[in-house]
Structures are given as C-alpha cells and as structure tokens.
Amino acid sequence: MEWVDFFLQQLITGLSNGMIIALIAIGYTMVYGIIELINFAHGDLFMLGAFLALTVVGLLGLGDWSGASAWAAVVIMLIASAGFCGVLNWGVDRLAYKPLRNASKLSLLVSAIGASFILVNLGLFWGGLPMDVFAGGVAAAAPKDFPALVPNTNLLGEESLVQFTPKDVLVWAVTVPLMVGLTWIVTRTRLGKAMRATAQNPVAARLMGIDTDRVIGATFLIGGALGGFASVIYSLYNNTISFQMGYRAGMDAFTAAVLGGIGSMPGAVTGALVIGLVRSMSDAYLETRWTNTIVFGILVLILIFRPSGLLGSRAKEKV
Amino acid sequence: MRRLPMPILAYFAVMSALPLFMGTTGLFYDAFQAIFVFSLVGLGLNVVTGFTGLLNLGMAAFMAIGAYTFAILTSDIYPFQIGFWWGILATVAIGAVAGFLLGAPTLGLSGDYLAIVTMGFGEITLDVLKNLDAVTKGTQGINPLPRPTFGPWTLELQQERGWYWLLLGFVLLAVLAVRRLERSRSGRAWLSIREDALASQCMGIPPKRTKMIAFATGSALAALGGALFAALLSSTGEPASYDFQVSILALCIVIVGGMGSVAGTLVGAVVMVGMNSLVLVKLADWAGAAGVGNASNVLASPNNWKYLIFGLALILVVRLKPDGLLPPRLEGGSS
C-alpha cells in the first residue's frame, strides 16, 4: 500500500514541523495575551537564535562531535540559544515596547515592525562573520548550512518506506516537555498567576500589588526562550538557515496562533499542528509554490469569518 | 477652494525648479522619479492610516495591481492596447475597486487584525503574480509599455526631465485631490472615525462605509503610483519589486513625515526614498571608489544597512516624535 506509506510520511513531517511552529506560536500568543501586541519581531528573534546556535557550533567545534557527544552538543546549543533569545526578547521589549505602554496600539505595532527590520539586518551582518561555519563570511546573504548533528537514519528499519528519524524524536523530546513545563508555570506558580491576572486586567493587577512590568518582562523572557529552543530544533531538522527565514516562520506561527485563538496556549499548539499538516499535505499533493498562498489564505479567511479562532471562545474586544 | 499652505507651495516651487540645475540625466532623476512615485503611494497610505487610522501593510499589492493592470491594458502583447492616458484612468478605477473588494469583508476587523489581513493580501498577491507567469510573464515582467503622448508629441523614455515634470504633475493632482477630500464630508468622517469610532457612529457616521471610501481612495492612489512606476521603466519589472519591504517603505514615509499630514507625506517621501535611492547609492559609489566596498565585507556595502535604517526610523520617530517631521496642523479649532 504505497499511498498509505506516502500519506503517513506527510503526517509525520507535518506534525513534527507543526510542533516546531507551536513553540514559536506560543511566543506570539503569550505576548498578545498580556499586552495585545502582535510582536512582529518574534520570527526574526527565532532567526537570530539559529545564527547563535551556528556560531556556538563554530566556536566549540561541535560540528565534529558524533554519537553520544552529538547529543551533548545539541543540549549546549539549546541552552545557549534559549538564553540568548530570552534575554534578547526581554531587551527588545525594554527598548522598543516599554516606552510605548501608554501610546496607541498603532504606535506599538509600528515599533514592533521597526524592531523586526533591525533584527533582520543584524542577521544579515551576522551571516558575514569570518567563520568557517558561515562560509568564511563571503556572501553574507546566502543561506548557511547547518551541520547534521542529528542523523537522518530511519528508526523503522532500512526497508520501511516511512521515515521516522532521530530528528523527529528530537523535535518531540524537546517540545513536549517544554509545553508541559510551561503549562505548569502558567497554571501552578505565583508568576503564572500574576501573568494571568495581568493579561485579564493590568490596572487591577497593579492595584493588587503585582509588579506588572516585571511580569511582562518575564513573559517576553519565556516567550523568547521558547523561540530559541525552536530555532535549534528547526536548524537541526532542516539543516539550512538564512537571515530571511524569520519572516516565513513568523507568519506560519502567527497564523497558527490566530487559527487556534490568539491568547490561548492550547489553541496555539493546535493551530500549529494544523498549519504543519496543511503545509506538508499541500507540498505533497498540490504544488509547493502554492503552499504559502494556502497558508495566507487560511489566515485571511479565519480572521474574516472567525476572528476568535478555533478554540477561542471569549472574543473580548476592549473598547 | 482654499489656497495651498506655504510648505506645500514651497515644495512644488522648489521641486519644479530643481531640474534646471541638475543637467538632463543622471542619478538625480532616478531618485526623484522614485520619490514622486512613492509620494503617490504615501499620499494613498496617508488617507488610510493617517486620516482614518487603519493600518494597511499591503500597499505594495495595490501598486502591483496598478502596474499589472496598466501593463495588461496597454502593452502590445495583449489585445486591449488602450494607450497611456486611458490606461492610467482605467488603472485608477480598478485600483479603487480592488480596495473596495478587499475592504468589504475586512474593514469590520479591529486594528491589528486588519494590518495582518492586508499583509496576508500582499503576500498572496505576490505569490499569484509569481505563479501565474503565463499572464504576468514571471520575472521578465510585461514590457514594453506605451509612452505618454501629448497631441503630436511623445515623451520618450530617455527624456528624464519630461518624466520628472510629468510625475510631479501627478503628485500635484493627487495633493489637490486629497486636500479636497480631506475637507469634504467623507474626509471629515475619516478624521472623526479615527478619533473616536463610537462617538462618530452616534453622530450618524456609518463606520464601515467611511472606512471603505478611505480604503478605495488609498488603493486608487497606490495603483496610480504602480502604473506610473511601470510606465517609467516601460516594464512591470519582476513580481518581487512589490514585496513587503515596499509596503514598509510606504509606512515609513507616512510615519516619518507625520500621520495625517499631506505636506509631511511629501517630506517623508523625500527623506525615506531619497535615503534609499540617492544617499545609499552615492555611498555605495564612494565605497566602491575608495576600495572598501568589496564583496567579502558585509558591513562595507551601504545597501546592507537598509533594513536597519528603516527599522530605526520607525522606532525612533514613534518614540521621540510621534507626530512626525511635519505634523498636521489643526485648522479651525477642530479635533
């Protein structure tokens, strides 16, 4: 049954890619939930995370590690990129968004677009670093190869037509615990309670003694760190990165967040899985060149007909 | 009709005299022709974002619709061949209809959702242009396109001064039209919706229809800009000439110039497009002459700083001078 195998293959690819998108989508949805800002710069933050991971590979020579030490290399990259993206996201909020807390939503959105462009440009410069991993810094704008630290061997046996590789294992092994941990933070800890309170009503939260600035900062830190984790597994999964990849990834993730109902974390994950599947199915059964049109089409249709998303029930419009 | 205010009069006086000191060809003309095309797009976005307070991140798509409509209606590879002037008129009309069609289902959305829908529309338009290469001729673009004629006289492509004044004339027409609209019933409704949608609704202003008129006006102006851009090159260029960056350039023009200010938009276009097409190009020339602009150093090529300049312009203006360089003047004690 060849078509079954083919279909299963698309299913695996789609779900794995969907889980990567989900980590980015959570970053969008958390920030939107708390300050109602579409954080345009989030996708480009993700892109810089991948560049940092590649730099770490170059500095420590991780590219030659194999076997068990390859997994150690993966852990090193995950920690480095997550830390970097978390702090960077916090910094972007400090510099570009925090001064505008009382300004109009339009100004805030414009500032986020500006931040996104600056990060893209930093990515372009970063690609020009004179390091071997960046091809010696020549042709800074060209896509960069990311070393295949995680092998592409088929865990289902050489004969199987369906590929399930250590790469897929990596994706699930990183994303699922992170999502469980995040759910625990949001629902069980003091910080999570403060986050939910700030999202619901920042003024009342401040009156109750919650330091909302700190809570918002923490939200950016956590959302950014998730983007950092996503950037490493994305790079290991696809083995090529480019300074322009943030725009595409960001739009996918944002579409996912809107699809699931922006502000809702389970919604973001569900939406991301749907987007991942739509992408892989469209690539396989339709034409690759129409895939982006389909994803954007979904985004536009959802916004027009069901702006609260698939799982979003409380469509609150602040007047 | 009231007289044009001083800054706008000064702008047109300086701009129409400038070519007399600049020779008949060269970088100056490339840059200023681009500045005038983007002034039209900026004036359109100013109606949508500045007057009405709706963020449209898909202006490039309307430019593209204008350019391709004009090309299909006038190029000799298609059967229509209606000539330059009828082509421009038809393009403006179709631009307005396109704005109407996108606006009808989406203008009920709240601010940032509308921004995302327009951005998605921009991406879809770009993909459709790329993928339907049977019609759009893919990266080749549709060419050649007809030149404008004035009676027996035809404006040839290499007559840079003629194009300069022609485009400046279109900008003047657009400025007169926009200022007229601003003072009309629709224009006052736009400002009122921007300031307080609920209050204006109570005063009997229909929000959706008002927004649709603004959207259609803005799209028509962007389409006009696109058509002139194509006519100027005698080609639509490749679809990628109308990407997201172009929409952001239009946004920079309006934000930097001053939202809701016609004079500000004109200045914003000079500053932002001048930066893009004049300063960066000049810097690249100098860097090349000095031998620092080699391919192995990404920092040495001024073109690589473009995103950074756009981004910083947006963030700094929003933070430090939220009303832009030339904020709109409030007349008659309004708002």
- Domains of chain B: which residue ranges? 26-242
Mean pLDDT of A269-284: 94
Token match 């932002």: residue?
B272
Predicted complex ipTM: 0.87
CA distances from A27 to A24, A130, B17 (A): 5, 32, 53
Token pair 């998108």 is at which residue?
A21
How close does chain B come to A126, measured CA to CA in Å?
Answer: 9
Q: What angle do CA A21, A25, A26 make, to 5 degrees?
A: 120
A224 and A90 Cβ atoms separated by less than 8 Å: yes
Q: How far apart are CA A97 and CA B314, in angstroms?
A: 12
What residue spans of B132-203 are helical by DSSP H? 133-136, 160-183, 185-195, 197-202
Chain A touched by B217 (CB under 8 Å): no
Q: 3-state class of A292 per DSSP?
A: helix
Q: Do B305 and A121 lie within an 8 Å CB cutoff?
A: yes
Question: Looking at this protein, which amino acid is placed at residue A200?
Answer: Q
Chain A: closest CA distance from residue B165 (Å): 33
State the smallest CA–CA distance between residue A110 and chain B in angstroms.
7
- Smallest Cβ distance to A304: which of B105, B251, B310? B105
Cβ of A110 within 8 Å of Cβ of B105? The answer is: no
Cα separation, A21 vs A78, whole angstroms: 16
CB < 8 Å from B in window 28-57 of A: 36-38
Contact in structure between A250 and A223 (CB atoms under 8 Å): no
| Tens digit of each residue's pLDDT (9 = 90 or more) over B173-198 | 999 999 999 999 999 999 999 988 89
Counting Cβ atoms within 10 Å, is residue B172 exposed (0-12), middle (13-18) or buried (19+)? Answer: middle
Peptide linkage before B7 cis (omega within 30 of 0): no
Chain B, 98 to 117: residues with Cβ < 8 Å from chain A are 105-106, 109-113, 115-117
Q: What is the DSSP string of B28-75?
A: HHHHHHHHHHHHHHHHHHIIIIIIT------HHHHHHHHHHHHHHHH-
Tell me how far apart the alpha carbons of residues B203 and B105 are, in angstroms, rounded to a whole number: 24
Q: Does A289 touch chain B (CB under 8 A)?
A: yes
Which of A:82-111 have CB within 8 Å of B?
95-96, 99-100, 103, 105-107, 109-111
Cβ contacts of B124 on chain A, cutoff 8 Å: 293, 296-297, 300
Question: A59 in contact with B at a CB cutoff of 8 Å?
Answer: no
CA dihedral of residues B319, B321, B322, B323 (deg, nearest 10): 180
- CA nearest to B227, candidates B324, B326, B118, B89: B89
Q: Is residue A62 within 8 Å of A72, Cβ to Cβ?
A: no
Token pair 């995040």: residue:
A182
Helices first, then strands: H and E counts in chain B: 14, 2
Tens digit of each residue's pLDDT, chain B (335 residues)? 567 888 899 999 999 999 999 888 888 999 999 999 999 999 999 999 999 999 999 999 999 999 999 999 999 889 898 989 999 999 999 999 999 999 988 887 877 788 888 999 999 999 999 999 888 888 888 988 988 888 888 888 888 899 999 999 999 999 999 999 999 999 999 999 998 889 999 999 998 899 999 999 999 999 999 999 999 999 998 999 999 989 999 999 999 999 999 999 999 999 999 988 888 888 888 877 776 655 567 777 778 888 898 899 999 999 998 888 888 876 543 43
A 174-213 residues with CB below 8 A of B?
A: none
Residue of B nearest to A291 (CA): B127
CA-based max dimension of chain B: 65
Closest CA to A45 of A8, A5, A107, A89: A89
- The DSSP secondary structure of B85-104, one letter per residue, reads HHHHHHHHHHHHHHHHHHHH
Segment 110-149 of chain A within 8 Å of chain B by CB: 110-111, 113-122, 124-125, 127-128, 136-141
> What is the per-residue pLDDT across B124-151, written as a single tens digit (0 to 9) for each?
999 999 999 888 888 888 988 988 888 8
